[in-house]
A and B are shown apart, each in its own frame.
Chain A
Amino acid sequence: MNKREMRRKLASLSFAEKINILEKLRDRSVTIAASGLRRKKDATSQNLKVDTQTRR
């Protein structure tokens, strides 16, 4: 199934089924936000900046 067909299939679900997916998407977003991955990435880029400045 290509992306367009998948989107059409998802759009044709009932509102209740879509709401169920929406809640799972939100839970996933919350979990990702809580994992600290974004913060680690920020910290890594900060460290890189520090490293670069130190090497100069």
Chain B
Amino acid sequence: MDAPPAVREKVGWWAPTSSQWAVRAELAVKAIFDLINQMQAAGTIGRYAIGGAVGATFYLEPSATLDVDIFVTLPMGPSQALLSLAPLYAFLLSRGGTMEGEHIVIDGWPVQFLPAADALDQEALAEAIETEVEGVRTWVMPAEHLAAIALRTGRPKDHNRVLQFLEQNSLDEARLQGILQRHGLTTKWERFQDKYLGDAHE
């Protein structure tokens, strides 16, 4: 397929470049995972796991998304008081990434790096599932953690994702309940059930 120049002109930074548009045989997302693995090997980040819609795709049918969410742990030096994403950005910018708002665009895909902010994120990273995409190793958050994080975030699209997990029986109920209790999400879960599942959960 020829690269449509009008695409980039009209939709801006999140459109694939001409060469990316033409070379779709090579998965852009695979290239992203490869680059993140290099960053991990270099010690710029610690553990990482794919979250959000791309992470959910590991368990569910694919659904359209515009970006990739990567949860990371960041190594912290003894003199550091705050975690910083600066080394991560420097690594990616030096390898062709470009900054656009809160995203860094790699191979035409906006990628958002989210430092593991709390115990739920850290647990999700610790229990992430190893998989591979065309020979490139990567990690995906467990389904129950993706659902719990979606519940915590609480936007309509997040609730929709939780419903998808439930509809497709992709969640281990006991494991999910354990996560919700450990991370103070039982009230949110009850509200979610009341709103979306009605009497079905009783």
Residues of A within 8 A of B (CB): 7-8, 10-11, 15-16, 18-31, 33-34, 36
Chain B residue contacts of A24, Cβ below 8 A: 24
Bound-state CA distance A36–B61 (Å) is: 28
Bound-state CA distance A10–B14 (Å) is: 26
Indicate if the CB atoms of A18 and B57 lie closer than 8 Å: yes
B54–chain A nearest beta-carbon distance, Å? 7
List 12 extra interface pairs beyond A30-B16, A34-B15, CB under 8 A.
Answer: A15-B57, A15-B132, A18-B57, A22-B65, A23-B29, A26-B66, A27-B24, A29-B64, A29-B66, A30-B7, A34-B6, A34-B10
Give the residue name and chain of the A residue nearest to B170 (CB): A11
Indicate if the CB atoms of A11 and B27 lie closer than 8 Å: no
Residues of B within 8 A of A (CB): 4, 6-7, 10-11, 14-16, 21, 24, 27-30, 54, 57-66, 109, 131-134, 140, 168, 170
A37–chain B nearest beta-carbon distance, Å? 11
B87–chain A nearest beta-carbon distance, Å? 27
Chain B residue contacts of A25, Cβ below 8 A: 62-65
Give the residue name and chain of the A residue nearest to B133 (CB): A16
Given A11-B60, A18-B58, A34-B4, A23 contacting B15 (CB threshold 8 A): no
Bound-state CA distance A20–B11 (Å) is: 22
From A22, A30, A36, give the contact of B57 (CB < 8 A): A22
Bound-state CA distance A38–B132 (Å) is: 37
Bound-state CA distance A26–B28 (Å) is: 11
From B10, B16, B65, B170, give the contact of A33 (CB < 8 A): B10
Indicate if the CB atoms of B65 and A23 lie closer than 8 Å: no
Indicate if the CB atoms of A22 and B168 lie closer than 8 Å: no
Indicate if the CB atoms of A22 and B62 lie closer than 8 Å: yes
Indicate if the CB atoms of B11 and A19 lie closer than 8 Å: no
Give the residue name and chain of the B residue nearest to A20 (CB): B27
Chain A residue contacts of B6, Cβ below 8 A: 34
Chain B residue contacts of A16, Cβ below 8 A: 27, 30, 132-134
Indicate if the CB atoms of B24 and A15 lie closer than 8 Å: no
Chain A residue contacts of B21, Cβ below 8 A: 27
Bound-state CA distance A11–B56 (Å) is: 10
From A7, A15, A28, A29, give the contact of B58 (CB < 8 A): A15
